[in-house]
Amino acid sequence: MAEVLKKKLMVEGKKFFDVWMYEVSDEIQGVATAYGERFMLQEAIAARNAMTNDKASAVMDRIIYLHSIFTVK
């Protein structure tokens, strides 16, 4: 994505704001969403691994699984 942005700015001489807002905003939002989902999943797994109650761990396993399936779908 950085290469596309660089090409449009340097080679095509377009304005940064126009490229950012009108041409690559969907890609930027996609990257931000993926980062947020990854961060959430890592923290949920860390919280689950820190649990000492087996029943709570089992519930958390199901929640993590459900969220992961929903995210992929």
Write the DSSP assignment of 13-63 as a string of letters.
Answer: ---HHHHHHHTSHHHHHHHHHHHHHHHHHHHHHHHHHH---HHHHHHHHHH
Per-residue pLDDT, 24: 81
Per-residue pLDDT, 37: 93
Per-residue pLDDT, 1: 63
pLDDT in tens, 21-68: 888 888 889 999 999 999 999 999 999 999 999 999 999 999 999 999
Per-residue pLDDT, 50: 96
41-46 long-range contacts, Cβ below 8 Å, gap at least 24? 41/67, 41/68, 41/71
